[in-house]
Structures are given as C-alpha cells and as structure tokens.
Amino acid sequence: MTDVHVDILEHDPYRGDSEVIARITYWEHEGLEVIYARDEEWRAILKRPVLTPEGKELNSIQSPGGWLRGLSTFFTGSYTTATDPHTDPECKFAIGLRIPLARLTEHQINTLNKPLV
C-alpha cells in the first residue's frame, strides 16, 4: 500500500453538507498517523480496533494497512462515514471546508443513519 489516507466525514442533512472531522494517513515506511482530529474524543475513537461483520478485530498496531482499509470498509456512525483510502492528489475533501452532500459517493450516503460502532 502506498501513502494513502482516509477521511472521516460528519454529515449535516439539514445544511446539506459534510465536513472532515478526522484524517488518518498510512505512510508506507512509517505507519499510521492521525493528521487531523476535531477533538480528543475523535483521537480516542481512532485508537480503537475496527470490527468486521464477522467479529474479527483489526488492530492499528499489528496491521496498520489492514486497519486503515477496515476503517474505510466497516466504520459507520451516526451521521459519520469514512472514505476509501486515497492519495493526497486524489482527495476531494479539504480540512476546514464544508462539502456539499452531492459530492459524496453512494456508499457514504447509504451509511448516514447507521448506529455508531
């Protein structure tokens, strides 16, 4: 896996937009780094293992690349979702800017009302 990151987006259906509330980067030779988290609560959430539907835990220390892929695949929350891993040049989401919901993928929109994991 090359240098990629996942953005955690919080959606506001009343305003019709989203914003980046966390960004986690996987550096191929250095491992994971939380580039941005809105607050300490999100930093703590990003330290948790990711659970697959089969109940398998993906740990960020033992398998950082697998954890990041799992985060994008299995993470859903109340009005939050995770993007697929992507490079900086591919990124459509800027920290600090609101993004119209129309720019989100079908997967991201489908996860808007799932309970927090």
Report yes or no: 62 and 50 within 8 Å, Cβ to Cβ: no
Whether this prediction's pTM lies above 0.85 is answered by: no
- Classify 79 as helix, strand or coil: coil
Output the CA angle 75-46-65, nearest 5 degrees. 75
pLDDT of residue 116: 39
Q: Encoding tokens for residue 14?
A: 């009343």
pLDDT of residue 38: 95
Q: Encoding tokens for residue 32?
A: 């994971």
> b or e along 25-60 (b: 16 or more beta carbons within 10 Å of the residue's beta carbon)?
bbeeeeebeeebbeeeebeebbeeebeeeeeeebeb
Positions in the chain whose pLDDT score sits under 70: 1, 103-117
